[in-house]
Structure 1
């Protein structure tokens, strides 16, 4: 789809299509990123779990010294941030190469259908390809059928033989003390 190809008027590192721009996030985007994370948490039926603060995001995405722990891209439309992709660098012991783990991809419901989600995937896939990274991965909730269908339509393959495990909260504290 040519609508998602970079154009000369796209900002540096940006991708412009159908009246929106995909660009790297800046510190000025932190409030919008947190707003979108909260909207995503509500969509995923866990609004109380979104406890990140602006300082958390500033520290992770834009540290004063050292390297970021995570990165973010935003979609802007009509001068407003309407979507986000937050990701970090992963590593495969099997390939001995880095990869990209997409932690969160979210587009405001009223902005869906414009190609923003695909533009995020294209931008991040290009980043992987340009850097010689071997994998672009993410997880999706089993009940999120619209997202699963969208990802499959982009060529993504479910890794159904893998089960994700998480240790958090009191269980994390107990494990750390053991």
Structure 2
């Protein structure tokens, strides 16, 4: 299970909302036989990192996140050939 972003409004922080959400997501992962539950956190977010560490979650060092935006995104997109508008055929 991959969690893109967990955001708790400032007025609800420190009251268990984030923990409750993580528990429910862990339950979903287990119920659906997911082999893991992963998410990202910004390196400056020390309160969240401390919470995740306390759960037994461990940071992953094998992956490096990349982002392409702005002019570079448009330049790469401009290099793509137009797609042929062929209808999708269902698998047999």
1:89-130 deviation digits (Å, cap 9, x = unpaired) = xxxxxxxxxxx2111111122212221111100100110110
Pick from 50, 64, 88 the counterpart of residue 163 of structure 1.
64
Larger radius of gyration: 2
Aligned-residue offset at 1:134: 1.2
Q: TM-score, normalised by structure 1?
A: 0.42
Aligned-residue offset at 1:143: 1.0
Pick from 29, 49, 53 the counterpart of residue 152 of structure 1.
53
2:6 maps to 105
2:24 maps to 123
Higher RCO (CA < 8 A, seq sep 6+): 2
Query: Hey, which of these two has a bigger chunk of strand by percent?
Result: 1
State the aligned residue count. Answer: 79
1:177 aligns with 2:78: yes
Q: TM-score, normalised by structure 2?
A: 0.77
Gaps of 5+ in 1: 1-99
Quick one: distance in 2 between partners of 1:138 and 1:127? 15
Quick one: distance in 2 between partners of 1:149 and 1:170? 37
Tell me how large the CA RMSD over aligned residues is: 1.3
